[in-house]
Amino acid sequence: MERFGSFVGGTFRDEGRPLAVRSPFDGAEVGQVTLADAPTTLAALTNSSFDPRHVVYFPADLEPRIRTRNPVRAQISVRHSRGERLELLVSTPGPTILVIAQAYYPSWQARIDGRPEPVLRANHAFQAVEVPAGIHNVVLHYEDQAFRCGMVVSILAMVFCSTAWLRPGNFNREPNRSTGEKRAPTHP
């Protein structure tokens, strides 16, 4: 298995930037899933007794989407890490929740063994993915559809403008001697 960077105190260091990748329940046989509003979550996260290895906070409105209520310990190996892609090998005896200390943003997509899985907001600002029991390849990648759409529109606009500028007749124009503007040649 290919590894990039190294683990230091539970934090994976990749190209000089820390990236915590772990099951928050590492070291605990059973973890705790807590659903709360933003002020309650922030208060809990800033409390000195908060231990991210034993509890994970989700927004209350995610309750119907969260299937794992008693996550278990998992072993995690980082197979590949780049700015827009993270590949992990996760081994867990039961369903668990993988929390990634990376800013949550809707353009992040997750796949477990090739199947799409939702990326959830956890601990107010981080990413989380539910992982079923067993050994699984987990891939998180950034795919911004709005950026791709904007890129296509920009390329089409550039092609249109280039075509309009290069169309026949543009190079046969004579300069206007008083203003320097080009004008179409006059034919008697």
Average pLDDT of 102-117?
93
* Domain positions in the chain: 6-142, 145-183
pLDDT at 87: 92
Enter the pTM of the model. 0.64
Residue range 27-44, pLDDT digits in tens: 444 478 889 999 999 999
pLDDT above 70 (res 13): no
User: In this structure, are residues 119 and 125 in contact, taking their beta carbons and an 8 Å threshold?
Assistant: no
Supply angle C-alpha 119, 21, 63, rounded to 5. 35
Angle at 77 (CA atoms; ends 76, 82), nearest 5 degrees: 115
Are the beta carbons of 109 and 143 closer than 8 angstroms?
Answer: yes
Express each pLDDT in 119-142 by its tens digit: 999 999 999 999 999 999 999 999
Residues 6+ apart with CB under 8 A from 124: 38, 41, 42, 45, 57
